[in-house]
Each structure stands twice: as structure tokens, then as C-alpha cells.
Structure 1
């Protein structure tokens, strides 16, 4: 059975082939996003934001199917991996430009990085001795510790200082962790590819443990981001090992970590604001009057919150109306605190809607500490409005519809949006099920 060999980062690529290949990889996300938008009958506006952040443009499309989001995100990851491979090969040929090669996977800056990289001439190489097969415990420990330090520093700068949760934190940072750990561990004695991969994953795992122990992050957020980060780290590890193997440019490659703060600042300056509209509907075997009574009931919501509660995400517990009619205040008690809402529509037995004035954290992180310094729990996922519509059916039943509007401010939006939609859908389903149960029980008791 033939062995499938993947392209290696240790190869080289001349300026001509790179100038032809890089644009194809750079434009792959734009092509996929453009085709998906046009296929849905939506006009494609090819403005600056489209060329810089194509995934964000697709995510902003109303009613985006989950399949389209998954296809576009997967295509972008594959293109980024290919661009990393060709860019590092191009840097190998030039003997310089490794920081540009690392930046070539980050949206908004990758086009400029690839253009500059394509124009680099061949510099005089100062080759050292190529590493021989073996293992240096000291270098392996250095690589792991450096990877841990990068993770902690990235969270301190990006999340806690700049308030930015984006591509640079969830993709570029683990990629650079892989590069740094892979290079430092292999710069004198060359480990196998598998050993390097295990070492990179160990650095990433210890880095996340450090985040938990320093109360910088909670376990849930880390677990949700782990699949994306692990892929980026493994690709970076292969690149770092390759740089060590060709025996030049290593110091400049590791120095590319210095670009991270600039990338964090850039993303903080243009944060995403992805609107998410959610809908739900249920038929209640009771008249609208009973459904309205259940809707304005102050009793606790029955039923276990399920996966949402287990993950520490906010879920509704009960609500309380302070007055009646438009302008009345509604207090929504959640597992993480109390939301303050103002009634914007009040039509007994037909329509109730409210706007959120203040809301509790979106989640409660799992941590050994009482308080975790995670800015993302507040302000990065918000509910703006919620509305209920009651429709009388010919059979005497009532159809209850609910619609809610939210805003997500975390990149990559196509990675986090499906997770947010799942939590929203589970919460809405639980609320509708509780209202159905209360209304039908009241209808039976009134007979």
C-alpha cells in the first residue's frame, strides 16, 4: 500500500511559482464566499471589507445555513495551511521573511505579507550545522516553556488588555506556539515529526492549564477553542521543525512572535458584530388566554437546562413583570444573574416583546477560582430583543412563536456562530416547552 506523503515545510519555492500559487490560495476563501453568496440570490458587494475579511462578510448574511458556514470555514483553513506551507518554502529559498510567512495566514494582513514575501530576493545564507537525529531534553523543555509563555502573554495582551478575541488569538497564536516550540526543540538534535507534534500539543496543553491556574480563562472556553487551536499548533510545529532542519532563519522565525501585539491591536480596532436572529415555534393545546397567562407567569421554568447548563452557559430561570403595558420593566432571572428588560409591545393574548437594557454574563466559567478574569463572558455575546407572538388556531389551540436577536463579537465568527446558535436553540426550546406545559395544565384545571 503506497504511503501518502504530505508536502514538507523543508522544501523551497522560487519567486515565480510563489507569485502564481499564493494568489490562488489567498483568493480561495473569497471565491468560496462569493459563490455561496451569489448562489443564495444575494448581490455580492466586492468592497474593501470583502477583500480583507471574506468570512465575516459571509457570516453577516441573514439566515446563513450551517452547511455554507462549515464549507467556507473549512476551505479557509485549508487555504491558510497551504499558504503557510508555500510561504515558509518561499522564505527558505530567500533565507529571510519567516515573520512574513507567519503573518500570511492572518486575514486583513495576509495579502500585504504575501506580496512582500513574493518580492524578496535571495539573501546570502549563513547556514549553521544541520541538526542530526536525536533528542535534547534541555531544548525540548525550552520549547515547551516558550510555548506556554506565548499562550499566557497572548491572552494577557489580546483579551485582558485590548479586549480582542479574534483570528490572531485563536489561530495565529497557536500557530506561532507550534513554530517556536518546534524550532527550539529541534535546533540541535532533530526529533521525528510525531515527537515534535506531541511536544507542541504538550506545550499547548500546559499553556491552557496555566491560563486556568492563573485565573485568566475557564475550562469551557478552552475546550471550545481547543480543536481550532490544535490544528493551527500542529501546522506551526511542522513549520518550526522544518526551519530547524534547514539550519537557518530560526531566530528570525521565533522573532515573528513580536508581530502578535500589532495583530491583536488591528483586530481590536475592527471588532466583529455578527447579528444572529433565532426563531422557534410550538403548538399549545390551549386557547390564547391560557398561553398569555403562562407567558406572564412568574413561576420558575421547569426542565433541566441540559448541555447549556452543564457547559456553564447562561440559561433562563424565571421572569417577573413590574407593571403592565408598553414601558413596563421585565426582570429576567438567568443562571448567571438578572437581565433588565423594557416591554416594547403589549397586546394581551397576541403579542409581547421587550428590549434588553442590561444583561448578566453570557456564561459562568468552570474554574477552581471564585472569579476568572475572562472579559468574553460580558459584552461579547448579547441579546438585544425578544418577542412572543400568539396565534389562535381553528382547532382552539394556540401557536406560540418566539424570535430573539443577538450579537456575537468573537472571531472567527464562522467557528463560533454555530456554537452560539446551538445554545440559543436549546434555550428557546426549553422556554417554549415550559410555556406549553403551563398553558395546557392551566387549560385542564379550568375545565
Structure 2
């Protein structure tokens, strides 16, 4: 690693920023390649990349000098912050997606800094090879993930309405303009429903659920009045509008969250009330699913609750 001796300054301030810059030069092109070239948002991006950021920045900053765990952590987090700002400045990602990925990114960056500290403390001669191994694993994992088929998930939300199924049905099929949302999540750019219109009736009718970013086009597949309305989703708008310095059109806004089907199920209750259940079947091409599915489920629940509450209010009006 003689080349590191030549380029790494002995001045701590200079070395700190040089370590940050060199790490970003390693991670940046791999990130752009993964997103725009391979077209994969997954373990390569959300786990291996922050691991590389923590590992490489720590090794570069601590090469041929004594470094504490605190210094390792600090240089790693500094690099992650600069890297994230770079994603926004160069219109690669927006604030909301970066904020959603932050918990896992912070954890893996810290873990990378820990491994980096252990390497330069115990086996410094293997430092360069470890950086290269992690770098090589990023596109390799992206290519592997790209071949995996997405898993279909469902989200069910229910509400009890003080009205008969016949009354509720009319407000399920189509409903008027919703009031402006008060929930914080919908003020961040996440798309939310505005109203619903339908063309025709019965199986084959086309329902349009209009969101702030466009319309879900939903041909009806089951029309069992007043018990079950089920539909496919053949077109859908972008799931969100990113908060950014620029007008971002990131790949993950297209075909990475896909709604496939939906339904409203109405169940008559003994006291004259109706239990209304809304279900969405979806998949997303963003991994790891264990981390991202709870985010998706939460957002869908919020959308469901907004719609079901609106239907409840309209159905209970005297």
C-alpha cells in the first residue's frame, strides 16, 4: 500500500477530508452504476454500500496511525453525511428516500467503521484487499438480486361504519373530494388519494382512484353488490414526489412499488352497522424486504385509513 503513503497526508485535517473524498470516489460510481446501470435497489445499495463507506473511510483515515473507535465512527458518519448530500445535490435521490434509508445506513456504516478499525489494528496489510473485496461484492450482489422474483404482499385495513352495506357501497364505488390531509406523512411528498370516479357498473367497469401524482386505473373483476368490490390495477402514478433541490425522477419512482390488485369487502353487522375492509396486494423491487416492507405497509395503511374514514363520514351523513 505504498500508494497510500504517497497520497495520505500526515496532517490530520487534510487526511480527514481526503479520506472522505477517496471513499466517495469509490462508493459513488458503484452507486450510480447499481441504480442506473444494473437497475437494482437492494442489499448492494442499502447494506453493502454503507458498509463500504464505514470500512474504507476508517481504513484510509487510520492507515499507519493510531485511531480510536470514536475517531473511526466519526469519520465514517462524516463520510455518510457528505455522500448523502451528494446524492441530493446531483439529483440521484431526494430527502425522503434518504431519510427512510437512514436507520439501516447509519447502522451498517457504524458496523463498517468497526470492521475497518479491527483491520487496521490487527491486520493492516490486508486493508486494501478488504476494501476491494467489499467493492467487488456490490455489483455482484446487485446482479444476483436483479434475477430474484418479487414477492406479493397484502395489507388489510378495516373500519366499522354506522350505516347499512347498501349505503356504504355507494360511497365505496366512487367518492367525492377528500379534505386536505393532516397526517405528517402526506406532507412529505407521499402521494395520497383525492377522490374516486367510476366509468360503468358491474364487472368490466373502470374505476379511477385519483392521487396527488396521478390516477390508479382499476378495472373491476368482482362486482358483488353490496358485499365485495374487487379490481385489478393496470396503471398507477408515481408513489411520491421527492423533496429535493431539483425535479428528481429517480428510477425507484417507476415500477419499484407496484400495486397489483385491490378490494373493498363489506360485512353486515347485527346492529345495523357495516364492517368495511380495504385490501391492497402489492410488491416492490426494493430490498431487503425485511426492512422496506414495514415502511410500505405503514404507508398503505395510512392511505387506507384516509379513504375508509372518508367513506365512513359520507355514509353516516343524515
TM-score scaled to structure 1, two decimals?
Answer: 0.65
- 1:425 lines up with 2:282 in the alignment: no
Which structure has more relative contact order (CA 8 Å, sep 6+)? It is: 2
Equivalent in the alignment of 2:161? 284
Equivalent in the alignment of 2:212? 335
Equivalent in the alignment of 2:234? 357
Aligned-partner Cα distance in 1 for 2:243–2:28: 18
Q: Deviations over 1:297-352 (max 9, x none)?
A: 34112361613313322221111101111111111111221111101112332221
The 5 A counterparts of 1:242-261 are 242-246=118-122, 247-256=124-133, 257-261=135-139
Residue 325 of structure 1: which of 190, 195, 202 is its match? 202
- 1:162 lines up with 2:38 in the alignment: yes
- 1:207 lines up with 2:79 in the alignment: no
* CA separation of 1:427 and 1:305: change in aligned 2, threshold 3 A: farther
RMSD: 2.1
Aligned-pair CA distance for 1:138: 2.9
Equivalent in the alignment of 1:43? none
Equivalent in the alignment of 2:284? 408
Contact 1:135 1:190 in 2 (8 A): no
Residue 369 of structure 1: which of 222, 242, 246 is its match? 246
Aligned-pair CA distance for 1:428: 1.0
Gaps of 5+ in 1: 1-125
Equivalent in the alignment of 1:90? none
* CA separation of 1:259 and 1:295: change in aligned 2, threshold 3 A: closer
Contact 1:321 1:330 in 2 (8 A): yes
3-state SS of the aligned residue for 1:274? coil
Aligned-pair CA distance for 1:219: 0.8
Aligned-partner Cα distance in 2 for 1:421–1:136: 46
Aligned-partner Cα distance in 2 for 1:382–1:307: 23
Aligned-pair CA distance for 1:376: 1.2
Aligned-partner Cα distance in 2 for 1:222–1:203: 14
Contact 1:212 1:367 in 2 (8 A): yes
Aligned-partner Cα distance in 2 for 1:158–1:177: 15
Aligned-partner Cα distance in 2 for 1:281–1:178: 43
Aligned-partner Cα distance in 2 for 1:394–1:204: 57
Aligned-partner Cα distance in 2 for 1:137–1:407: 46
Equivalent in the alignment of 2:101? 225
Equivalent in the alignment of 1:237? 113
Aligned-partner Cα distance in 2 for 1:398–1:303: 26
Aligned-partner Cα distance in 2 for 1:325–1:305: 34
Aligned-partner Cα distance in 1 for 2:251–2:182: 24
Aligned-partner Cα distance in 1 for 2:136–2:51: 13
Contact 1:147 1:207 in 2 (8 A): no
Equivalent in the alignment of 2:174? 297
* CA separation of 1:157 and 1:305: change in aligned 2, threshold 3 A: farther
* CA separation of 1:434 and 1:136: change in aligned 2, threshold 3 A: same
The 5 A counterparts of 1:28-427 are 136-246=12-122, 247-256=124-133, 257-270=135-148, 272-302=149-179, 304=181, 306-370=183-247, 372-427=248-303
* CA separation of 1:283 and 1:239: change in aligned 2, threshold 3 A: closer
* CA separation of 1:382 and 1:424: change in aligned 2, threshold 3 A: same
Contact 1:332 1:338 in 2 (8 A): yes
TM-score scaled to structure 2, two decimals?
Answer: 0.90
